[in-house]
Chain A
Amino acid sequence: MSESALTIRGLHYSYGAHHVVDGIDLDAASGSILGVLGPNGAGKSTTISLAVGTRAPDAGHIEIFGLDPFRQHEKTSLLAGVMLQDGGLPMSAKPLQVLRHLSSLYPNPLSVDELAEPLGLHEFSTRTIRRLSGGQKQRVALAAALIGRPRLVFLDEPCAGLDPRARAVVHDFIRELAAASVAVVLTTHDLAEAEELADEVVVIDRGRIIAQGAPEDLRSASPAGRRLTITVDHALSPAPPELLTTMNTIAPTSALGSAFVVDGDLESTQIAGLATAIAEAGLAITDIDMHSQSLADVFFELTGRPLR
């Protein structure tokens, strides 16, 4: 079992009467990536700011390597790095100036070059932060989170608004951090990202944890493993009753919009039978899609609401 980097128990926080964080438990271990997933306003960012001690929780217990981030902030600030959602960078300064300054606040920082090189910061180092694109700012913010050589990093939506190339760079970087025994806590509302990166995912909604586990366990825990969707060129309201009857003899089918939806694991012959039945009913198939349920489907099943 690897070292516990972050332990949160029974965390509560309110803005006035609004319970933003309503009893959250989290654990992050060195060398692993914890994905905190949830829609906007679920309490992810508030949880992070409590975890790094910028404010005190109403109730609950937080430990960063055994230390209280609020009362022992000077010690925990050396252990934890933070990348905030809105960047946290002074607009009128240049990227490397900011990093140089931040590095001067830590006793044993990385050199600015060690971060600027792999993150490609030299490409735009002559411009002020104000003039950088969203993706460029994100890369500087990531470097800012890492400059103090943290053993635990909080990344709040690190890839929001990044193009695929920049996203790949950041993803590689995050994997390398975990490989170097850093504990990574990553909030996102991007499921693909959580599935791709996280060893464990915690799904938060309205300040509470509604599911947690390895991404594949979460998916397989949902009642329907796989889902077949056959889209046709007609609205199916109502679907031709005879056709639906025929299809139901092959597999339990429902009609949704202009698509037939069949949940469960299907044999190839069943899929062919369904397609034949549709063709014989005179409908043209425009799309056939079969996919494993994603975390988005899981979230929808748990809350009855889409993730976004």
Chain B
Amino acid sequence: MRTRRVMAQVRFETISVLRNGEQLLLSLILPLGMLVLLAKAPLLEALGSLPAGTDPLLVALPGALSLSLASTAFTGQAIATAFDRRYGVLRQLATTPLGTNGLILGKLGAVIAVILIQFLLAFAIALGLGFDGSVDLLALVLTTLLGTAALLSLGLLMAGTVRAEATLAGANLIWVLMAGVGGLVIAHPGEWGTVVGYLPSGALGDAMRAAVGGAGFDVKALIVLLVWGLVGTLAARRWFRFE
């Protein structure tokens, strides 16, 4: 019975995301558009982010996967949850047999469902563009789970502690920063690269590039994600307010 309720919530939340135009732009169109752009236009070479002779898809695909994940788990969920909180949706659902735990499991499930769709589309496009790199499936799954835990918990922490408008602005700004300078899409050289490697965005980027670029497990990046996931979950449990 409890499982059935959580699945109903997963379905409802997933459909809500897929029906929402802004969420679709953020979750599908921008990451997938970026995938095509980085793969086809000589942007990565111009940025110096592509060693000579490397297939740009080896950077573009993990970049698109990381960006997709961050769009859904962090920015999309932060904004949706912030407004659900503002309008009392969380409190209302908490009074149903779903309860607060079911509500959170429902969100987690919906995020994973949407990420699955994003990844399938990204891989389909990459294969269509001629991707023939090696993918370490286990590393990809582990990276996705730990990255989702870290970014979702931080997104919910934000949604549950600050006003909805502030979350809307902040979560979008952080998305731009993560994608632009946070190591999410491309690796940054030098000291900055080391710094962002300890942030959720850089660690996710590093782990994803290893999993999809042929290197397999980036253990350090996975540990960083794990720590952020634990910190985010504990902080969200401590400070998240339903109203």
- Interface residues, chain A, CB within 8 Å of chain B? 49, 52-54, 73-74, 77-78, 80, 82, 84-93, 101-102, 104-107, 144, 148
Query: CB-CB < 8 A to B12: which residues of A?
Result: 101
Rounded to whole angstroms, the CA-CA distance of A107 and B96 in the bound complex is 11
- A86-B88, A88-B88, A91-B83 known; A102-B20 Cβ under 8 A: no
Interface-central residue, A73, A86, A101, A106, by most chain B CB under 10 Å: A101
A87 touches B87 (CB 8 A): yes
Does B46 have its Cβ within 8 Å of any Cβ on chain A? no
Query: CB-CB < 8 A to B94: which residues of A?
Result: 54
B87 touches A104 (CB 8 A): no
Q: List 23 A-B contacts (CB under 8 A).
A: A54-B91, A54-B94, A54-B100, A74-B97, A77-B96, A84-B91, A84-B92, A86-B87, A86-B88, A88-B91, A88-B92, A88-B93, A89-B87, A89-B89, A101-B8, A101-B9, A102-B96, A104-B4, A104-B5, A105-B9, A105-B97, A107-B1, A148-B97
Does B95 have its Cβ within 8 Å of any Cβ on chain A? yes
Of residues 90 through 106 on chain B, the ones whose CB sits less than 8 Å from some CB of chain A are 91-100
Does B84 have its Cβ within 8 Å of any Cβ on chain A? yes
Query: CB-CB < 8 A to B8: which residues of A?
Result: 101, 104-105
For chain B, which range describes its interface: under 10, 10 to 19, 20 to 34, or 35 or more residues?
A: 20 to 34
A82 touches B92 (CB 8 A): yes
Q: What is the minimal beta-carbon distance from B26 to any residue of chain A, in angstroms?
A: 14
Q: Say what secondary structure dominates the interface of chain A.
A: loop
Rounded to whole angstroms, the CA-CA distance of A80 and B243 in the bound complex is 20
Does B19 have its Cβ within 8 Å of any Cβ on chain A? yes
Query: CB-CB < 8 A to B198: which residues of A?
Result: none
Rounded to whole angstroms, the CA-CA distance of A106 and B4 in the bound complex is 10
Interface-central residue, A53, A54, A77, A105, by most chain B CB under 10 Å: A105
Q: What is the minimal beta-carbon distance from A111 to any residue of chain B, in angstroms?
A: 16
- Interface residues, chain B, CB within 8 Å of chain A? 1-2, 4-5, 8-9, 12, 16, 19-20, 83-84, 87-89, 91-100, 242-243
Query: CB-CB < 8 A to A88: which residues of B?
Result: 87-89, 91-93
Query: CB-CB < 8 A to B19: which residues of A?
Result: 92
Rounded to whole angstroms, the CA-CA distance of A86 and B5 in the bound complex is 24
Q: What is the minimal beta-carbon distance from B27 to any residue of chain A, in angstroms?
A: 14
Query: CB-CB < 8 A to A85: which residues of B?
Result: 88
Partner of B242, one of A54, A86, A90: A54
Beyond A77-B99, A84-B88, 6 additional contacts (C-beta under 8 Å) are: A54-B242, A74-B99, A80-B95, A89-B87, A90-B87, A101-B12
Q: What is the minimal beta-carbon distance from A152 to any residue of chain B, in angstroms?
A: 12
Q: What is the minimal beta-carbon distance from B1 to any residue of chain A, in angstroms?
A: 7
Rounded to whole angstroms, the CA-CA distance of A84 and B242 in the bound complex is 13
Query: CB-CB < 8 A to A49: which residues of B?
Result: 91, 243
Q: Across chains A and B, which 10 residue pairs bring their CB atoms closest together, nearest first?
A: A88-B92, A88-B88, A86-B88, A104-B8, A82-B95, A101-B12, A77-B97, A52-B95, A105-B96, A84-B88
